[in-house]
Amino acid sequence: MRPRLAGKVAVISGGGRGLGLATARLFAREGASVVIGQRDRVEGEQAVTSMHADGERACFSALDVTQEDSWQQVIHTALETFGRLDILVNNAGVLQMEGVEDLTQDVWDHTIAVNQTGTWLGMKAAIPAMRKTGGGSIVNVASIAGLIGHGQVFAYQASKGAVVIMSKSAAIEYAREGIRVNTVIPGPADTAMFSQVEQALAQQVKNQIPLGRIARPEDVAYGVLYLASDEAAYVTGTELVIDGGFTAQ
């Protein structure tokens, strides 16, 4: 069977760990060449080394998602190294557990800069390259925190809610150019981000998941793979919720 991403080139922000790395490894196994954009050079280069050891096609490019020139460099790396760009996964994100009154403006600004502005800048940089190849797929990673209210994560929820509607807007704007834009919305997942949650609260959240466990990174990566692939050729402007049934309650 032909690999689902054979011949395609993908850029993944935050691809050096967690959901991003799981997605990068899955994409590569399905035939894609992957550019891992990561702010932490050590993490990014280690991820690429491990992929090379398994015979997977990947390279690293340093990426600060809040800076437009950094995004331009990552896209340039994809084009110079692999010759094209077909897929962008806006995965990088930050979470700080603070409510409305506890939240500082510095934390608010940083959260919005990474989660919301970073998503916009990624799309802005990738779309011209995708246009040259006749289309592409953008998958923006949001969160169930962008769908339902929950106290003490005010800035994070604001930023992820914005990602959902930004994706819809971009999907409409670029549909006639063959560029699809969708959102993956994970619930709690076994990543470094979820490990920041206070233990008692984390256990409470786990107990509320109908399927009885938090997501493995690979659970989310398979959803991203579907939206990135040609199997989703008629899917744009929508959300794929991967939360073990949490928001069905």
Confidence check: pLDDT of 197 > 90: no
Q: How far apart are CA 15 and CA 24, in angstroms?
A: 6
Phi-psi region of 198 (alpha: psi -120 to 50; beta: other; left: phi over 0): beta
* Residue 240 per-residue DSSP state: E
Confidence check: pLDDT of 170 > 90: yes
Token representation of residue 236: 């744009």
CB count, 10 Å around CB of 1?
A: 3
Q: What percent of the chain has pLDDT over 70?
A: 98
Instruction: Indicate the pTM of the whole model.
Output: 0.96
pLDDT digits (tens, 9 = 90+) for 113-159: 999 999 999 999 999 999 999 999 999 999 999 999 988 899 999 99
Q: How far apart are CA 207 and CA 114, in angstroms?
A: 30
Confidence check: pLDDT of 6 > 80: yes
In the annotation, is 156 catalytic? Answer: yes
Catalytic residue from among 156, 174, 222, 226: 156
Domains annotated for the chain, with CATH where assigned, are 9-189+217-240 (3.40.50.720)
pLDDT digits (tens, 9 = 90+) for 18-46: 999 999 999 999 999 999 999 999 999 99
**Averaged pLDDT score across all residues of the chain:** 96
Q: Tell me the average pLDDT across 3-19.
A: 98
